[in-house]
Amino acid sequence: MAYVEDSEFERDTTYIPDRITRDGTTPDGRPGWPVEPGRYRLIVARACPWANRSIIVRRLLGLEDVLPMGIAGPEHDERSWTFTEDPGGRDPVLGIERLQEAYLARDPHYDRGVTVPAVVEIASGKVVTNDFPQITLDLSTEWREYHRPGAPDLYPADRADEIDEVMRWIYTEVNNGVYRCGFAGTQDAYEKAYDRLFTALDRLTERLRDQRYLVGDTITEADIRLFTTLARFDAVYHGHFKCNRSKLAEMPVLWAYARDLFTTPGFGDTTDFDHIKRHYYRVHTDINPTQIVPAGPDLSGWLEPHGREALGGRPFGDGTPPGPPPADEEVPAEHRARALAA
């Protein structure tokens, strides 16, 4: 959901605004749906940074049994994400070939972007919401009754204002900043976006130099939102989006921070570099018309020691790490081996 205005990239942020809340009511006046185990299906794509957030949050909170997940393939055309890696090319629960079908089931005249993550009501086959920033916050707050024992508090009430402030800034300057570089329509727009992005990354370096996490001494939603951009930086944004002042691996503080999270259960084990590279290099034909997927870079460094334990902090606070992902949700072993091989 994006367009270029005056040669500068702008993201269309008009999403289906419904929310899934504890009792189906919403204090902000948006349409509400009640939390019900098994009623909904979270549709994601491992390639997409916005969807990757919801995969991580769902896993950390242990919601696998109450909110089943469908995984779209890494590529899509102008119409929709598809389920090319499922048997028969269909989601095994919804029975659809394209996520677009769930959007059209809700609104036959739907003409906006078909995005992930999307929450679909299983019985009706209709999309409930694709409001990706709200989806993960609601998983933390509205689905709390169904969190696993030992689930971390990713959005603690006493730090919510600070987390919100940090997330707003990370979204505009970093999460969206790499896209402003990649889809700039002129040299001037690109150079402005480039300077803005690396100014933000330098600022993050200073923030994280002496503290392990972005807010407080535990992992919060803010860390998850930054991680999914950092995880894609060297694999695609550095080359494909021309964010090439430095690789992440050449920014010592951010590189160690990202590796710290990558080796934390729920982060690296939900990251599929194979899907990430195939998506960006094959879908963005305006940037990469040959659709050639580069063989590099060497990503084995993600598994090197990071040393950030010395800064203290407790990744899960008073909670515990999640268990292994369900077998049918594991990143394929061959993808990990191919990406992380030395």
54 touches 139 (CB < 8 A)? yes
* Residue 171: how many other CB atoms lie within 10 Å: 17
| Candidates 40, 103, 155, 179; catalytic one | 179
Which are the contacts of 226, defined by CB distance < 8 A and separation ≥ 6?
A: 170, 174, 175, 204, 214
**Rounded CA gap, 67 and 59, in Å?**
10
48 is catalytic: yes
Token pair for 166: 């940090």
Consecutive H or E run containing 135: helix 132-141
179 is catalytic: yes
Consecutive H or E run containing 126: strand 126-129
Residue where the block lists tokens 């242990």: 62
Q: Which of 300, 219, 231 is nearest to 270 (CA)?
A: 231
| Candidates 40, 48, 181, 280; catalytic one | 48
285 touches 291 (CB < 8 A)? yes
State the SS3 of 256-319. HHHHHHHCCCCCHHHCCHHHHHHHHHHHCCCCCCCCCCCCCCCCHHHHCCCCHHHHCCCCCCCC
How many whole angstroms from its chain centre is CA 291? 23
State the Cα angle at 159 between 226 and 48, rounded to 5°: 25
Q: What residues are labeled active site?
A: 48, 179
